[in-house]
């Protein structure tokens, strides 16, 4: 049973600081990961995708993947109040097998303090 684990939070970060969100996974075969942002009452929206070890940067967001340690993280620089949301880590299917489906963590609630 593949699992994706996240701390549910809430994680409170002062405005302008760096928010660090972490996710661990159980399936060593997982090759790639998504980070989704979900505002209260809304559906998830994709913000980052990473499949290589190391860092991937997109604007204020940096995703970090460490396959040896089986964790993936999301850093948000210069945090803004609009970043307050739940962040979901997800491991997508690895192929077209019947058992392959995206696995979501429960999400971490992030609260940016003005």
Nearer to other proteins, 10 or 14 (CB): 10
Residue closer to other proteins, measured from CB, 77 or 101: 101
105 touching other proteins, by CB under 8 A: yes
Q: Is the dihedral of CA 39, 90, 55, 49 positive or negative?
A: negative
Question: Quick one: which segment of 11-19, 43-51, 60-68, 69-77 binds other proteins (CB under 8 A)?
Answer: 43-51
Burial class (CB in 10 A: 0-12, 13-18, 19+), 14: exposed
102 binds other proteins (CB under 8 A): yes
Q: Is 96 in the site for other proteins (CB under 8 A)?
A: yes
Nearest approach in angstroms of CB 1 to other proteins is 12
Scored b (16 or more CB within 10 A) or e, 44-79 reads beebbebeeeeeeeeeebbbbbebeeebbbbbbeeb
**Does position 85 bind other proteins by CB under 8 A?**
no
Sign of CA dihedral 48, 49, 52, 53: positive
Residue 107 makes contact with other proteins by CB under 8 A: yes
Of 43, 51, 98, the residue nearest 72 (C-alpha): 51
Task: Name the residues that contact other proteins, by CB under 8 A.
Answer: 8, 32, 34, 36, 41-46, 49, 51, 88, 90, 92-93, 95-96, 98-99, 101-107
């Amino acid at each position: 049973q593949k699992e994706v684990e996240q701390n549910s939070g809430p994680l409170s970060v002062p405005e302008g600081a760096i928010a660090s969100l972490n996710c661990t996974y159980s399936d060593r075969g997982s090759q790639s990961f998504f980070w989704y942002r979900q505002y209260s009452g809304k559906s998830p929206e994709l913000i980052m995708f990473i499949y290589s070890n190391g860092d991937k940067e997109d604007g204020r967001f940096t995703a970090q993947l460490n396959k040896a340690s089986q964790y993936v993280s999301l850093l948000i620089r210069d945090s803004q109040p609009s970043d307050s949301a739940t962040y979901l880590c997800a491991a997508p299917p690895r192929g077209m097998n019947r058992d392959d489906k995206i696995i979501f963590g429960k999400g971490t609630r992030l609260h940016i303090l003005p």
